[in-house]
Amino acid sequence: MPWQAPVNPDPYTRRLILLRHAKAQPAPAGDFSTEADLARPLSTSGREAALRCGAWLRANALCPDVILCSPALRTRQTMQGVLEGLGTAAPNILLQPAIYEAEPPALLACVQAAPATAMTLMLVGHNPGISKLAHELDPLAQSLDEGFAPGALAVFQPHAQAPAASLANWQGCVPNMVCLHTFTRP
């Protein structure tokens, strides 16, 4: 069982949720095109995992205000499953092509450009970028060494030593200003 701290949501604290898309079906045999990769749907177990992620977020009172999502079918289906599991109205959803196959600097730029009004921000993306970004944000979080499996999510919050003004908006979300609060695969 992955490490999981009890979540005690504070509506005045920013939270960043990194979610790797749930398990997807493989691309058609021999088709290594970007189009085939973008069109990969979730598997049955992936759809179930996305629903569990949403239910876990609901149980821990972590409803995203804004979701940044890769345009790939598997990430959009993961996001839809999470929203269904949350059972709430859809937040502000921003499909961001820059998330697809992105490295940490591009992913962090997406986070930093998010609306300042979002207190809970979720980014739905792909590995290895999501895993690398999580490690860069909190290099001391040993639980991330377990691997960022499909359907895994990491919840970050401001580091206790971070200046209060550092996360007045998402531009202040930089390595060592946030720390891992919870890492799980519901």
CATH number at residue 110: 3.40.50.1240
- Average pLDDT (32-57) is 96
Does a structural domain hold residue 91? yes
Question: DSSP letters along 119-182, please?
Answer: SEEEEEE-TTHHHHHHHHH-TT-GGGGG---TT-EEEEEE-TTS-GGGGSSGGG--TTTEEEEE
- Given a cut of 50, whether residue 136 has pLDDT beyond it is yes
pLDDT class for 66, splitting at 50, 70, 90? very high
- Given a cut of 90, whether residue 163 has pLDDT beyond it is no
State pTM to two decimals. 0.91
Q: Which region among 13-17, 137-141, 157-161 has the lowest average model confidence (pLDDT)?
A: 157-161
Asked whether 133 and 7 are in contact (CB, 8 A), the reply is no
Does a structural domain hold residue 41? no
Does a structural domain hold residue 92? yes
Does a structural domain hold residue 8? no
- Average pLDDT (66-93) is 94
- Given a cut of 90, whether residue 69 has pLDDT beyond it is yes
Q: Which region among 57-71, 94-108, 112-126, 153-167 has the lowest average model confidence (pLDDT)?
A: 153-167
- Tell me what percent of the residues of the chain surpass a pLDDT of 90: 74
pLDDT at position 97: 97
Residues making up the binding site? 74
pLDDT at position 2: 43
Question: DSSP letters along 32-93, please?
Answer: --HHHHHTPPBPHHHHHHHHHHHHHHHHTT---SEEEE-SSHHHHHHHHHHHHHHTS---EE
pLDDT at position 147: 86
- Given a cut of 80, whether residue 17 has pLDDT beyond it is yes
pLDDT at position 109: 97
The domain tally of the chain equals: 1
Residues making up the binding site for substrate? 74
Asked whether 100 and 38 are in contact (CB, 8 A), the reply is yes
pLDDT at position 90: 75
Range of the domain at 64: 15-27+46-184
- Given a cut of 50, whether residue 101 has pLDDT beyond it is yes
Integer Cα distance of 61 and 176 in angstroms: 25
Does a structural domain hold residue 160? yes
pLDDT at position 10: 53
Does a structural domain hold residue 39? no
pLDDT class for 30, splitting at 50, 70, 90? confident
